[in-house]
């Protein structure tokens, strides 16, 4: 079963005044274990598509299926709960809770899932170790670099054991070295743990490492291409 499937997905903003067609009949399927980039110029619809897949916005028409569930038909309360247990998010601006430590930021989503304290502690430590922050678990966001904060965000996204992770321009605010380190971590998790990543990005560093690149133009899929990540990129 596909993890994500969209059928004739369309989104029109301002339909009663000056209509803006952000998406036009987009139909794609994403399988488990993919490392996929959605790319295109500003206004192409890539971020809108990512938001639809993540249930952060509702389509004007068409459907979004996540693990067989039509999330576009869910009521808001059901959708919030579904996202909590099935979809991980990594945002451009990190979105960490500033008064929480790295450990608290990662474990918070598991607290919302009503996980046991011992389980939360063990998984949080494992994830922070996995992203190279074993020695920064008690640091707060303001005490960390941008790259370290984004690693915490990746660990947080993985904490809920989601079906897949959506990353919206995750490297946009990072310098070259931090961006490459973050991509190495995510690619390693994809290869070793079969974690599914879907990116919306302008960053050629992300695009070059993707195994699949979906190019959006004027709200529609213009190209959908598969490639192999070079072995030199592997951690």
Give the model's pLDDT for residue 228.
63
Question: Which two three-digit tokens encode residue 61?
Answer: 């028409």
Is residue 9 in some structural domain? yes
Is residue 70 in some structural domain? yes
Averaged pLDDT for residues 180-202: 93
The per-residue pLDDT for range 28-40, each reduced to its tens digit, is 999 999 999 999 9
18-32 in b/e form (b: 16+ CB < 10 A) is: eeebbbbebebebee
Neighbours of 70 (CB within 10 A): 12
Give the model's pLDDT for residue 233.
44
Q: Say how many domains are in the chain.
A: 1
Q: Indicate which CATH number applies to the domain containing 168.
A: 3.40.50.300
Is residue 228 in some structural domain? yes
Q: Identify the residue whose tokens are 């973050």.
A: 182
Q: What's the mean per-residue pLDDT of the chain?
A: 93
Question: Which two three-digit tokens encode residue 112?
Answer: 């919302």
Is residue 115 in some structural domain? no
Residue 56 pLDDT > 90: yes
E strand map for 56-155: 61-66, 69-70, 87-90
Give the model's pLDDT for residue 148.
96
Residue 231 pLDDT > 60: no
Is residue 113 in some structural domain? no
Domain residue limits at 59: 4-99+161-233
pTM: 0.90
Is residue 170 in some structural domain? yes
Give the model's pLDDT for residue 234.
44
Is residue 152 in some structural domain? no
């Amino acid at each position: 079963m596909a993890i994500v499937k969209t059928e004739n997905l369309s989104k029109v903003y301002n339909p009663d005044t000056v209509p803006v067609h952000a998406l036009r009949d987009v139909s794609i399927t994403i399988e488990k274990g993919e490392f996929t980039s959605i790319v295109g110029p500003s206004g192409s619809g890539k971020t809108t598509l990512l938001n639809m897949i993540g249930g952060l916005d509702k389509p004007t028409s068409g459907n979004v299926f996540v693990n067989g569930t039509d999330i576009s038909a869910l009521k808001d309360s059901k959708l919030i709960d579904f996202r909590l247990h099935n979809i991980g998010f990594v945002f451009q601006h990190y979105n960490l809770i500033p008064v929480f430590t790295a450990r608290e930021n990662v474990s918070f989503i598991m607290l919302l899932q009503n996980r046991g304290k011992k389980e939360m502690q063990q998984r949080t430590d494992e994830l922070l170790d996995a992203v190279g922050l074993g020695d920064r678990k008690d640091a707060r966001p303001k005490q960390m670099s941008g790259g370290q904060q984004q690693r915490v965000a990746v660990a947080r996204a993985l904490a809920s054991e989601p079906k897949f992770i959506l990353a919206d321009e995750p490297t946009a605010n990072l310098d070259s070295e931090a961006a490459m380190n973050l991509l190495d971590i995510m690619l390693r998790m994809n290869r070793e743990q079969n974690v599914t990543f879907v990116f919306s990005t302008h960053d050629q560093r992300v695009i070059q490492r993707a195994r699949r690149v979906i190019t959006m133009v004027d709200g529609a899929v213009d190209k959908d291409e598969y490639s192999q990540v070079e072995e030199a990129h592997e951690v």
